[in-house]
Amino acid sequence: MEIKLPDIGTDEVEVTEILVNIGDTIEVNQSLITVEGNKASMEIPAPYSGKITKIYINIGDKVSTGSMIMKMNVDSIAIESDKKNIFSSNIETSINNDNLIKLEPIMSSSNINIEDDITDHINNNVIQNNDAYIHATPLIRRIAHEFDINLANIKGTGRKGRIVRNDIKNYIKNIIHSSICTKSNISPILSVSNNCNYSKFGDIEEVELSKIQKISSEKLQKNWTNIPHVTQFDEINITEVEKFRTQQNTKLANKNINIKITLLVFMLKAVAKVLQELPYFNSSLSSDEKTICIKKYINIGIAIDTINGVVVPVCRNVNTKGIIELAHELTEFAKKANTGTLTASDMQGGCFTISNLGSIGGGMTFTPIVNAPEVAILGISKSYLKAVWNDNMFTPVLMLPISLSYDHRVINGGDGVRFINLISHMITDIRNLIM
């Protein structure tokens, strides 16, 4: 018996998947191929039970109504049985807005005329349950295949138990958030590691991650997966603040005061000022994602790179402290971080984080990962001289690249731009810090 492509309401479609192989024994209504056309994707079911003996098409082929797609062996008993039990397949197509369209094909055969039987069955709207077959759109099957998910473990909420996009999204989210999830059941979704034997290519050395690296990697992966990040980039003119900073350090040295004022201190003060003006940046999202906790205190974490990994001590009540006091506090944090003497309380209570790569260098910008339960983080890169036209000539200007990452569930793009503009306004002329 030869199987032809039924009339699915479009002139020509492309074969995107062949779901069976030659020699496979299939059941009635089991999907044979997936086709796409006119922004729609659908599966073509088998008209009868039997064994596939020949496949006429390949992936990428263009087919139309009546095109021969496969050949199968069936016996007369199976045909009569399937005629009594056959039902019209609900072929759902995934469109741009995720609306589902029900297409009801009419199957035909060169050897057996079943058109009238199926048409009558469609007209009677007889739909039967098939527990052996999982109802899901081709899009859902692709997602399940990509993440190695068994669709039998997902309860469909669509019509007649069909698995829809939200079902598979919720399944993945539940695994990630489940308090009882283990590495074994989450690894197919999140893990990118492998067990390749690299030693067969040459000499290797295995080094165990430090305790800080293990803790950080787990948290960073969770934050990157669960938080919809947006990062905005800009540059700040720090020419004047650098002149002022250098002058103040010279005065402190002349007075034998062993404190060094860094640009980071001014960034701390500017961020504290902006957090007061844009309080959503100084908040946390509740676990049920229904409320936002806006904090009335300004505690800012500073990411410090150490030989054992990155640590983030927290400067508390930054808005109430002066430049000299903050400079001293940062110096003490740096000493404790490099000697491994930071305490747990030193790294708790943060509202916002600054990651400063300026002293190391590297590229112009980077994407810092939000340090949950905070909702935003500011990245600082290495400053550089830039030629800027001032209506008469080019002048050298010291520019500081910055990167602002934030949780898009809480912060919108407009507020992101306002945050950067306010920081730039205050750092370009630090007199604005006292306004």
> Active-site residues: which are they?
408
CA torsion 328-333-336-342 (nearest 10°) is: 140
Taking the alpha carbons at both ends of the chain, their separation in whole angstroms is: 85
**219 to each of 83, 165, 284, 341, 369, how far by Cα in Å?**
57, 27, 16, 22, 10
- Both tokens of 325, joined, read 């006091």
Say which residue the tokens 């074994």 belong to: 184
Label residues 324-353 b or e (16+ Cβ within 10 Å = b). eebbbbbeebeebbeeeebeeebeeebbbb
Q: Are 26 and 52 in contact (CB under 8 A)?
A: yes
The values of phi and psi at residue 172, to 5°, are -65, -45
DSSP 1: -
Q: Are 6 and 44 in contact (CB under 8 A)?
A: yes
* Secondary structure (3-state) at 61: coil
DSSP 171: H
